[in-house]
Amino acid sequence: MLEMRKMNQSRGAKARGSSLIEVLVSILIMSFGILGVVGLHARAIQFSLDADDRNRAALFGDELAAQMRLARSVNLSAAQIDTFTKRVQGLDLVTNQPNGSGLPNANVAVVAGATPNVATLTITWRHPGQPVGQLSQFVMDVVLTDEEIT
């Protein structure tokens, strides 16, 4: 009878120890799950910022295409392209100070195409969170019809 009590006591001690290990393992698994959710949230924010920048670049491209249609030519003056570049970079046109409405670290290139009514607009930018050397790019061909030129 004494041996049975000792066996029951030792089983109870083992059960209590295994319960503690089970709790610690479940906390560890929960911690990895929470870290995964935090990582997912960070990536979602990054994708959202990238989508916002791409949308802004498309709007700037449409604005330049409208300027070309108003000028009735894909060849804009250097002053017009310089003003447009400042807007894309988010610089105030009077003070040249950042106003926060442009793309970070942006550059603009406008190249006339082989045909007279075509130009290619390229806007490149690098968000501060992107690694150095990794650029985002928006490329747009502007084609003016004969009716838009005359």
What are the tens digits of pLDDT across the range 22-44?
Answer: 899 999 999 999 999 999 999 99
Specify the long-range contacts of residues 63-66, CB closer than 8 Å, at least 24 apart: 63/87, 64/110, 64/121, 64/142, 65/121, 65/140, 65/142
How does pLDDT run across 39-73, given as a tens digit for each residue?
A: 999 999 988 988 999 999 999 999 999 999 998 98
With H, G, I as helix, E, B as strand and everything else as coil, classify residue 143: strand
pLDDT of residue 36: 95
pLDDT computed for residue 148 by the predictor: 81
